[in-house]
Structure 1
Amino acid sequence: MTTSAHENITVDPALADLYKDLHSHPELGFQEHRTAEIVAKRLTELGFDVTTGIGKTGVAGVLKNGAGPTALLRADMDALPVKEDTGLDYASTVTATDENGKVVPVDHACGHDLHTTCLLGAAEILSSDTSSWSGTLVVVFQPAEELGAGAQAMVDDGLYNKVPKPDIVLGQHVAPLPAGKIAGHAGASYAGSDSLRVRLVGKGAHGSMPQNSIDPVVMAASTVLRLQTIVSREIPSTDVAVLTVGSIHSGDAANVIPGEAELQLNIRSYSDRVRQHILDSVDRIAKGEAAAAGAPEEPTITEIERFPIVVNDAEALGKTLHAFAEWLGADKILDPGAGAGSEDVGILATSAGAPLSYWLLGGTDPSLFTTGDMTDPALATVPSNHSPHYAPVIEPTLTIGVTALVTAARTWMPPA
């Protein structure tokens, strides 16, 4: 008799305490020293071959269990510069110094503490029941996902010289869906994201003598308006893209025309073709508005951060979700469509030449929903990731998150 991949899974109740501890002690990207130490200690106790300090604070563990495929399970560890407002008795009161030297509140408002706890729970189950799978298990605890830099940092630091290259990359992200449900979308699943800084140079003057200036405020205003035409007038209606100017700054006084202005903008896209078109258009428009204004020099455009488009391999995701449907029931598996959020997990897959199977884990109190599917009106009202009010319900989220990772690993590394 063959045992299904989801059977014989008992989740350690002590994981709830670990989750609360991690939630109370969040750390910003590339500062996850305490979290990494906890992860490394637990993996070592479970018998994994552990490597620390990959990409500064990343941790990887390898457990070999006979012949078979190599599966990589990934969790991210970093938190956000957000002040928590959940009212939980284990809420964060932590502050930290960010990369700009500013002291900021820190909160696991995206749920990476849950991801870390779930993967440690899965590692415990898989290491204690090696008869249920065969192959090589690689667990990766990644830093700095929120900065869009952690996965690349680990790869650049020789991740795949330190651990075997995987045949499949598996992972999950908690989301404001009903706890008890899992969602996955094949193909381009999460948007590529480019954040840019545009510096426009003019010529300053007294506010009473604008004829002596080349006004960068007017230049910036014209640029913002023109940038809005990229998506509305240059991108086909069958494609999806977003361009947001989130910051504009110039000058500090009402009666002084400043010498320069700065815009910060974000682009979301789902194909390399659309992405490149928008980037080229931003460059063209910024330079065109500067030339029209008679600016003394061309604008400078610099990248702040970049997330690649996350592409779920259709066959790989289908195989994983089929196993989840056998366990939870087909009615508990949703297709959320392509999401506007961004992730860097795909870098771990593409750099290894492996398919990606990445899903969303419901983490919100199910009683808040009516239909419980992607049409549910509660999706627009419940706190979402990055909100100061966001915190997943511990159960059944934790149990289902651990079981999902174990089930996925066993599906891809069946016993010999």
Structure 2
Amino acid sequence: MFQTLIDRYLPGLSQYEDIYKKLHANPELPDLEEETANLIEGHLRKLSSNLEIKTKIGGHGVIAICRNGNGRTILLRADFDALPVEEKTGLEYASTKKMKDVNGDLKPVMHACGHDFHVTSLLAAAETALKARDAWSGTIVFLFQPAEERGTGAAAMVDDGLYDPKKHACPVPDMVLGQHVMPYRAGSVETKAGTMMSAADSFKVTIYGRGAHGSQPHHAIDPVVIASYIVVRLQTICSREVPPDETAVVTVGSIQSGDTENIISAEAVLKIDIRSVTQEWRQRILESVKRIVRAECEAGRCPKGPVFERTRTYPLTHNDKEVNNAIEKSFSSWFGKHHKSKPKPHLASEDVSILASSVNRPCCFWFFGGIEAKEWDERENNGTLDEIAVNHSPYFAPVLQPTLKTGVEALTVAIMTFLRTPSNEMLYTPADV
């Protein structure tokens, strides 16, 4: 079934390779993705006049609604923001772009997380679905989301009335589906029921001391020393509070204090990132972080308590078991040995599930690989897989093919899994989602 549909309807991908290269060479930072959104809208309008296209949702968000008779409604999501990273891949279409971020600071910009693959795959999948309208029945929402890297884009679209019938009037989906390119063998896909990706909580913590001359520390309350104790003590959360069979990470990614060596500064700023894979331990770890910071400030005689500012938050990405099992069955049929069921959650984080949880619907998210097969196999044989450039690296450069083809096929197979007409042997028959 999948073979016939894909052979018949999958478009030639050379035009999409060109779109990918254009996106990769012209990345835009979160909340500033106007040109990217315009490119997406323009291509969608060229595909069909039957698409209901709505723009500027929660910033630069775009949706295209394809109604094709009775049946379920599925929402397919791709994110499209980039990162403040200077690209070092050496690709002929590498980004050399710089732009001012939302704070007005000039930054290099790169698609270092593969969101350009997500956009291109979904655009090609949209064309495939439009051509194959005689093979499925229902409604598809193609959703293109900004600001994933800030963890705000999905919530911003929902809060801006994505599902509000009086505003953007996006049909409430029966399920939300999405995918992410990863540093895995190209051509492969990975699925997992339950927790697929971790929750993430990030904070800026300000520690207050008392400034003085570097030669007179007895007149100071040194925030650098206090911050140093905090950093060391935070490491005991995962090693001494979290059970050994539970997964969690607490990282202090930045310490900032003072400008010169002979002045004890009046304050220090820590930036802390927390990853967890269960809601119970997420809350307990957050409480432990705050307890330790406050206790060390008290021990160090800080003139006032620390200030916590939340900078980012991502929910757990939890794959609905029933939806995931249907996806796994289809992926195993189509990708064969190149489909694997992932045994453990990934410690990166995503906000895609907000598009589902906000309307009490199930979500399913999967990974597809982007590392050239020969390189992967050689590194696997010589034990150097850990040297492969990963997402957010300035060297992250998924091979163009078969990565793009895999992304398009995975989305197409997912569409046909849930929307095939009864005459085409629908695989998925849930009780009620």
Which TM class, normalised by the smaller chain length? over 0.9
Contact 2:198 2:346 in 1 (8 A): yes
Deviation at 1:48, TM superposition (A): 0.8
Q: Give the alignment of 1:6-405 within 5 angstroms.
A: 6=6, 8-12=8-12, 13-45=14-46, 46=48, 47-161=50-164, 162-335=169-342, 337-370=344-377, 377-405=383-411
CA distance in 2, matches of 1:335, 1:19: 28
CA distance in 1, matches of 2:384, 2:58: 39
CA distance in 2, matches of 1:319, 1:349: 18
* CA distance 1:135–1:414, shift in 2 (3 Å): same
Identify which range, 306-315 or 330-339, moves more after superposition: 330-339
Contact 1:122 1:403 in 2 (8 A): yes
SS at structure 2 position matched to 1:148: coil
Deviation at 1:368, TM superposition (A): 1.2
* CA distance 1:298–1:106, shift in 2 (3 Å): same
SS at structure 2 position matched to 1:196: strand
CA distance in 2, matches of 1:352, 1:287: 37
Contact 2:125 2:409 in 1 (8 A): yes
Contact 1:178 1:364 in 2 (8 A): yes
Contact 1:5 1:411 in 2 (8 A): no
Name segments (4+ residues, structure 1) moved above 6 Å: 1-5
Equivalent residue pairs, number? 415
Deviation per residue, 1:56-107 (Å, 9 max, x gap) = 1000010110000000000001111111111111111111111222111111
Contact 2:9 2:131 in 1 (8 A): no
Deviation per residue, 1:292-341 (Å, 9 max, x gap) = 12211111011111111111112211111211111121453342521111
What is the aligned partner in structure 1 of residue 429 from structure 2? Answer: none
CA distance in 2, matches of 1:38, 1:252: 44
Letter in 2 for 1:102: D
CA distance in 1, matches of 2:205, 2:68: 52
Contact 1:310 1:344 in 2 (8 A): yes
CA distance in 1, matches of 2:21, 2:276: 35
Contact 1:65 1:134 in 2 (8 A): yes
What is the aligned partner in structure 1 of residue 430 from structure 2? Answer: none
SS at structure 1 position matched to 2:330: helix
CA distance in 2, matches of 1:372, 1:62: 43
**Paired residue for 1:409, among 400, 408, 415?**
415
CA distance in 1, matches of 2:373, 2:254: 37
Contact 1:121 1:402 in 2 (8 A): yes
Q: Which runs of 5+ in 1 are unaligned?
A: none
Contact 2:5 2:132 in 1 (8 A): no
Deviation at 1:265, TM superposition (A): 0.9
Identify which range, 205-214 or 136-145, moves more after superposition: 205-214
Contact 2:24 2:111 in 1 (8 A): yes
Contact 1:181 1:334 in 2 (8 A): no
Contact 2:11 2:127 in 1 (8 A): no
CA distance in 1, matches of 2:5, 2:279: 36
Letter in 1 for 2:232: L
Deviation at 1:11, TM superposition (A): 2.9
SS at structure 2 position matched to 1:281: helix
Contact 2:32 2:102 in 1 (8 A): no
Deviation per residue, 1:244-302 (Å, 9 max, x gap) = 11111212222222111111111010111111111111111111111112211111011
CA distance in 2, matches of 1:182, 1:5: 19
Deviation at 1:148, TM superposition (A): 0.9
Aligned-residue RMSD, C-alpha? 1.9
Q: Which runs of 5+ in 2 are unaligned?
A: 423-433
Deviation at 1:209, TM superposition (A): 2.2
TM-score, length-normalised on structure 2? 0.92
SS at structure 2 position matched to 1:138: strand
Deviation per residue, 1:97-139 (Å, 9 max, x gap) = 1122211111111111111011000101111221111001101
SS at structure 1 position matched to 2:64: strand
Deviation per residue, 1:189-217 (Å, 9 max, x gap) = 11111111111111112222222222212
CA distance in 1, matches of 2:8, 2:18: 23
Contact 1:200 1:260 in 2 (8 A): yes
